[in-house]
């Protein structure tokens, strides 16, 4: 068929356009499909595992491995060894930054074991040094999230903690120091003034310059300390205290009869149980530390001394004498997703690892100020339940067992 010269030109232009469009669509399709080697399922952890010198585990026939193990033989090879059961939560979304963070892309480092933000821009606030010697619970609620917020903004220069080593909590700090001769005080006016809690720690809304660090990521990467607990086995940590409170006799503690009942409940259902009450010999400040007249440890040794699925934190620490007690404690907590704790610093610390935390509370500002409902779950996205009687505590323990979510990781 004969076509005019002008029609031939138009047909040629149409063919060229169609060819270019096909090439563009093919290139866009290639960009949307990442190569197989970039898939998250093929990532391999490059974490460095510390090598403490363990002692043989008391009560166990087998000797522990020469170094903490970071994963089980049954754990899928295509999953990162440090993958957490619960993502750290910000104010509203676990994967987002607070609106106050100056450089929100740094929050992508939350899943990294050692995030390193770039230097602060010239027009940002000056770098600061953070030092604190108040109560441990106040430090966990106000100071640690404040320090991490400054780290995310590139404005943290150094941190300093009081008493026993807390370097693992401040793993993100460019320079962290510990004052071993420091004694903690209960003067918290500076907490209100310096860290944004204008109405008091337990009555204020969360300030803008507040973002809890994702401790579970960093700590799980360091390895296990109770090697007899299989990955996926039911595991619970029970943290107790017995100390003078507000110049009055102890009020917030789990008594020995209730403690024995709780432990039996877990053991009868196949749980591994860790009991954590350090006592004066391990507390950073013995004058403010736990009293030794609760009578729990002798009774526990008598009742569960030959039980392979029960350990006190002191027994676990004895296996790893080269490690600081706090590091052993934090490593153990990072492997658990279920906690029973009491009012005070242990209940705050137990809320930093995700999962579920059942808190026994009789008196304190936390309950009066609504801090349990407003703050504690925002440490890590943990589910918080508060009980005021031993009877309700036992009910919550039985409920925790029925849910079957307390898996060791």
pLDDT tens-digit profile of 209-229? 999 999 998 899 898 999 999
pLDDT tens-digit profile of 377-395? 999 999 999 999 999 999 9
Q: Which of 55, 57, 59 is nearest to 307 (CA)?
A: 59
274 CB-near residues (< 8 Å, 6+ apart): 226, 235, 236, 237, 238, 311, 312, 313, 316, 332, 336
SS3 (DSSP) at 121: coil
The pLDDT score that the predictor gives to residue 87 is: 35
The pLDDT score that the predictor gives to residue 144 is: 96
User: Is-above-0.75 flag for pTM?
Assistant: no
pLDDT, averaged in runs of 10, over the chain (409 residues)? 53 64 57 38 34 43 42 36 35 39 38 45 74 90 95 95 88 93 77 79 87 93 92 96 90 97 98 90 48 87 96 95 93 96 95 97 88 93 96 98 93
Specify the DSSP class assigned to residue 108. G
The pLDDT score that the predictor gives to residue 359 is: 98
Specify the DSSP class assigned to residue 248. B
The pLDDT score that the predictor gives to residue 54 is: 45
What is the side-by-side order of every strand in the sheet holding 338-342?
310-312, 272-276, 235-239, 338-342, 356-360, 383-387
pLDDT tens-digit profile of 348-360? 999 999 999 999 9
Cα dist from 164 to 130, 241, 281, whole Å: 17, 18, 12
The pLDDT score that the predictor gives to residue 197 is: 85
The pLDDT score that the predictor gives to residue 14 is: 66
CA distance 43 to 300: 44
């Amino acid at each position: 068929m004969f076509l005019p010269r002008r029609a031939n030109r138009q047909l040629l232009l149409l063919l060229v356009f169609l060819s270019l469009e096909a090439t563009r669509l093919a290139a866009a399709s290639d960009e949307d499909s990442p190569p197989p080697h970039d898939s998250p399922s093929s990532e391999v952890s490059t974490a460095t595992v510390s090598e403490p010198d363990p002692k043989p585990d008391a009560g166990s026939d087998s000797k522990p491995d020469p170094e903490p193990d970071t994963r089980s033989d049954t754990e899928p090879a295509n999953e990162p060894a440090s993958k957490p059961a619960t993502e750290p939560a910000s104010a509203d979304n676990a994967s987002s930054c607070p609106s106050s963070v100056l450089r929100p892309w740094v929050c992508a480092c939350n899943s990294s074991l050692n995030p390193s933000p770039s230097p602060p821009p010239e027009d940002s606030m000056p770098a600061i040094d953070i030092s604190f010697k108040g109560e441990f619970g106040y430090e966990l609620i106000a100071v640690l999230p404040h320090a991490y917020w400054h780290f995310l903004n590139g404005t943290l220069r150094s941190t300093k903690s009081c008493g026993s080593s807390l370097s693992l909590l401040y793993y993100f700090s460019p320079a962290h120091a510990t004052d071993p001769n420091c004694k903690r005080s209960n003067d918290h006016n500076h907490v209100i003034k310096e860290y944004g809690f204008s109405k008091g720690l337990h009555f204020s809304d969360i300030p803008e310059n507040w973002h809890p660090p994702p401790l579970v990521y960093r700590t799980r990467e360091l390895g296990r300390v109770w090697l007899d607990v299989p990955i996926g086995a039911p595991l619970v940590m029970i943290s107790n205290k017995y100390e003078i409170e507000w110049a009055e006799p102890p009020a917030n503690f789990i008594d020995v009869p209730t403690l024995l009942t709780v432990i039996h409940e877990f053991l009868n259902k196949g749980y591994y149980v860790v009991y954590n009450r350090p006592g004066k010999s391990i507390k950073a400040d013995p004058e403010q530390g736990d009293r030794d007249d609760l009578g729990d440890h002798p009774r526990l040794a008598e009742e569960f001394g030959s039980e392979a699925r029960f350990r006190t934190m002191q027994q676990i620490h004895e296996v790893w004498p080269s490690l600081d007690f706090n590091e052993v404690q934090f490593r153990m907590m990072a492997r658990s997703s279920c906690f029973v704790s009491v009012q005070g610093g242990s209940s705050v610390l137990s809320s930093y690892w995700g999962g579920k935390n059942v808190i026994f509370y009789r008196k304190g500002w936390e309950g009066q100020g609504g801090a349990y409902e407003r703050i504690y779950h925002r440490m890590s996205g943990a589910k918080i339940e508060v009980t005021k009687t031993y009877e309700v505590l036992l009910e919550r323990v039985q409920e925790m067992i029925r849910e079957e979510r307390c898996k060791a990781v």
